[in-house]
Amino acid sequence: MIDSPAPVPYRVLARKYRPTDFAGLIGQDALVRTLSNAIQSGRLAHAFVLTGVRGVGKTTTARIIARALNCIGIDGRGGPTIEPCGACEHCRAIAEDRHVDVLEMDAASRTGVDGIRDLIDSVRYRPTSARYKIYIVDEVHMLSTAAFNALLKTLEEPPEHVKFVFATTEIRKIPVTVLSRCQRFDLRRVEMEVLAAHFAAIAEKEGAEIAPAALRLIARAADGSVRDGLSLLDQAISHGAGQVSETQVRDMLGLADRARVFDLLDAVMKGEIAAALDQTADQYAAGADPGVVLQDMLELVHWLTRLKVTPDAAEAVTVSETERVKGRQMADSLSLAALTRAWQMLLKGLAETRSAPNPLQAAEMAVVRLAYAAELPTPAELVERIRANPAPPPPRGPAGGGGFAGGTADAVAGHHVGGNGGGGATALKMQPAVAAQPARLPAMPAGFAEVAALFAEKREGVVAMHLRNHVNLVSFEPGRLEWRQHAAAAADLAPKVARLLSEWTGRRWTVSVNAADPAQPTLAEQEIGAEQRRRQDAAELPLVKAVLAAFPGTTIQVVRDLEPEAAPDSPPADGEPVAEMDEEMFPGEQDL
C-alpha cells in the first residue's frame, strides 16, 4: 500500500509574503536608502533601533539586516551586500530561524536584568560560523531600568563581531542613554495607495479576484500596517471564496456603505432627524457597528473640509466617483464653521458611543444633537442678521432716558430674521441687558415666633411643627438660639435649623440645646394660654356679662377683633374683642 504524501500546511499571507530583502520592503524608501548606502560604504553602526507602529516591518527589517551582513554569496566569497542571495547557508538558516549566530529575544517575556546578563556574557564569544553575531531584541522598551543600565557599557564598546538590532513600538520608553548609542530608523505607516497596490499583486498571485474598491477598504482598515492588511486580505479571500466584492468586505469589516454615509450626513446637516435616525437604524440592522458609522461620518466631514480648503483633492486617482461628485456638492453647500462644529460634536459622540452600555442609543443621541445643532446659525451669521435688522430705538422716558438704568437698552425681540425655506424660520431674540440684582434675603427674625413662621413660609412644615410643639425656648438673640427639646422632636432639629437659618438670612446662626436653665412654654402652649386670657377678658365686658347672666350655661367659644371698616355704627373701641356665643347653649330661638 502506497501512502499518499502529507498535505502541505497552509501558511498565512502575512508569513508567506514576508520580504526577504530590501527590495521587498514597501513604503520604507528612506530606511532602505540609508541602510543600502551604509552597507555599500562599510559604515555600519554597531547598534540599530527600529521604531514604528505594529505590522510595518520592524522585525522583518531586522532579519533582512542580519542576512545582508552575513550573506557570503552563492560562491561563498561574498561580503555584506544590499541584495542577499537567499541561497547560501547563512541566508537559508536565517530565513528558517535556525541560525546559531542570529539570536532573537523577546524583551516582553524577559524584562529583568538576568536575561540581559546572559546576553552580555555571550557577547564576548566570537560567532560560530557567520561574519557577525547579531542580537535582535523585540519590544525592547519592555526591559526594566536595571536591564537597560546593565546593557549600556556593552552598547558603548561592543566587540567588532557583534551587532545589535532593537525593535520597539514605544520609542519614548527607551532611555535616552540607550538611544544615543544606537542608529535610529523610523518606519513610516505605509500609505493606503501603496498598500492597495501591494494587496492587488498578492491577490493576483493567489488567484483571487478582488474589486479595487474592496482593496481600498482593506487598505484603509489596515491603517498603515502591512501585516494587519494581509490578515484582512486573507480573511476576505476566504470570505468570498476567491471572488471578493466591496459589499462583502464591508460586511466583513462591519462598515457602512460609503454612499449611505453620504446620505446620512446629508440628512443630519439638513436637520432631518427622522430620516437620519431611520438610516442609522438601517445601517445597524445591516451589520454596521454604531461606532464605525460615526467614525465614517467623521472621515467624511474631514474629507468635505479638505474639499472646502483644497478643491483639487477631488482629482486624486484614489478618490471614488461618489466621493468626488457628492463630496463636491456637499462641500459647496456647507460652511467651514458648520463642518468644524460637526467634527467636534462627532468626536464627542464617538467617545460616548465607545463607552456606552448601548452603543446604538449613544450613536442615535449624537445624531440627534448634531441635527439640531445644524439648524443653528453661526456667530458670524448672527452678527450679520443683527446688522441687517437693527433694533428700533428704545422709548424715552420723561427724563429723556430709556426704560433702563443706563438710559439705553440693546434689544432685538421677537423679530424673525432668517428662514430655511422649509417652513421654519429661525428667530433671534435678545432680551434687554439688565444688571443682575442680588437675591433678596428674608428679614432677620426678631423673635422665636418669627423663626417658626419663617419655616412655615419656606414650606418646612415638619420643622415648623417641631418648633411650635416640641421646643421650649431658653434664650433668643439674632444669630443665636437656645432651647430645651422634647423627646418627640427630631434628633437633628438643632443643626438643621441652624443650617437653614444661615442659608436664608445670610448670617451665621448657632442653635444649642440646654436642658438645665429655665425655659418658656412652647409656642403652642403660649397660644393656648393667650386664647384663654382673651376669653377671660371678654367675659369681664358688661354686655357679655349680661348675656351670660340672661342665658345660663352659655360659654364663650371664639374671641375675634373686629376690623374698623367692618364695625357697626357704634363699634367698640379699636382692638376691643367681641365674643361669639355657642348657639347650642341657647334654649330655643332667641335674638341677641
Instruction: Decide if 342 is inside a domain.
Output: yes
pLDDT of residue 396: 55
Q: Specify which residues 561 forms β-bridges with.
A: 577
Number of domains in the chain: 4
487 and 559 in a common domain: no
For the chain, give the percent of residues with pLDDT over 70: 82
Residue 22: how many CB atoms within 10 A of its CB?
A: 21
Instruction: Decide if 225 is inside a domain.
Output: no
Angstrom distance (rounded) from CA 111 to CA 106: 9
Which amino acid, one-letter code, is at 170?
E
Q: Please report which confidence band the pLDDT of residue 349 belongs to, taking 50, 70 and 90 as the band edges.
A: very high
Q: Which residue has the cell 369681664?
A: 540
pLDDT of residue 590: 38
Q: Please report which confidence band the pLDDT of residue 537 belongs to, taking 50, 70 and 90 as the band edges.
A: confident
Kindly state the average pLDDT of the residues 302-314.
87
Instruction: Decide if 158 is inside a domain.
Output: yes
Q: What is the pLDDT of residues 391-421, one digit of tens each?
A: 666 555 444 444 444 443 343 333 443 444 4
Kindly state the average pLDDT of the residues 363-373.
91
Nearest of 217, 199, 307 to residue 258 by alpha carbon: 217
pLDDT of residue 551: 78
Residue 354 has pLDDT above 50, yes or no: yes
Instruction: Decide if 464 is inside a domain.
Output: yes
371 and 308 in a common domain: yes
Instruction: Decide if 235 is inside a domain.
Output: no
360's grid cell:
446604538
For residue 18, the domain's CATH number is 3.40.50.300
Kindly state the average pLDDT of the residues 119-128.
88
101's grid cell:
549566530
pLDDT of residue 13: 87
Instruction: Decide if 96 is inside a domain.
Output: yes
Kindly state the average pLDDT of the residues 373-392.
72
pLDDT of residue 361: 93
Q: Give one DSSP letter per residue of 269-296, joined into a string.
A: HTT-HHHHHHHHHHHHHTT--HHHHHHH
Instruction: Decide if 221 is inside a domain.
Output: no
Q: CA angle at residue 93 from 87 to 97, to 5 degrees?
A: 135
Q: Please report which confidence band the pLDDT of residue 165 belongs to, taking 50, 70 and 90 as the band edges.
A: very high
Range of the domain at 559: 525-585
361 and 298 in a common domain: yes
Of the candidates 499, 520, 541, which is a domain's last residue?
Answer: 520
Pick the residue with more confidence: 253 or 528? 528
Residue 231 has pLDDT above 80, yes or no: yes
Q: What is the pLDDT of residues 41-54, one digit of tens each?
A: 888 889 999 998 88
Cα atoms found within 13 Å of the Cα of residue 450, Cβ hemisphere only: 11
For residue 266, the domain's CATH number is 1.20.272.10
22 and 111 in a common domain: yes
Residue 5 has pLDDT above 70, yes or no: no
For residue 504, the domain's CATH number is 3.30.300
Nearest of 526, 531, 546 to residue 577 by alpha carbon: 531
pLDDT of residue 562: 67
Instruction: Decide if 436 is inside a domain.
Output: no
536 and 510 in a common domain: no
Angstrom distance (rounded) from CA 2 to CA 20: 37
pLDDT of residue 323: 77
Backbone angles phi, psi at 47, to 5 degrees: -150, 135
Q: Please report which confidence band the pLDDT of residue 441 belongs to, taking 50, 70 and 90 as the band edges.
A: low
Cα 592 from chain centre: 82
Which amino acid, one-letter code, is at 505?
T
554 and 508 in a common domain: no
For the chain, give the percent of residues with pLDDT over 90: 15
Of the candidates 339, 358, 387, which is a domain's last residue?
Answer: 387
Kindly state the average pLDDT of the residues 141-169.
90
493 and 368 in a common domain: no
25 and 161 in a common domain: yes
Cα 353 from chain centre: 9
Pick the residue with more confidence: 491 or 89? 89
512 and 532 in a common domain: no
Q: Please report which confidence band the pLDDT of residue 442 belongs to, taking 50, 70 and 90 as the band edges.
A: low
Average of per-residue pLDDT values in the chain: 80
> Considering only 44-58, 63-77, 274-288, 416-430, which range has the smallest mean pLDDT?
416-430
Q: Is the pTM of this model over 0.85?
A: no
Q: Please report which confidence band the pLDDT of residue 6 belongs to, taking 50, 70 and 90 as the band edges.
A: low
510 and 497 in a common domain: yes
Of the candidates 387, 402, 417, which is a domain's last residue?
Answer: 387
Residue 224 has pLDDT above 70, yes or no: yes
What residues contact residue 518 under an 8 Å CB cut-off, 6+ apart?
Answer: 474
Q: What is the pLDDT of residues 544-555, one digit of tens each?
A: 878 877 778 778
175 and 37 in a common domain: yes
Kindly state the average pLDDT of the residues 275-299.
88
Kindly state the average pLDDT of the residues 71-92.
87
Q: Please report which confidence band the pLDDT of residue 4 belongs to, taking 50, 70 and 90 as the band edges.
A: low
497 and 462 in a common domain: yes
Q: How far is CA 556 from CA 150, 524, 525, 584, in A?
A: 106, 20, 20, 12
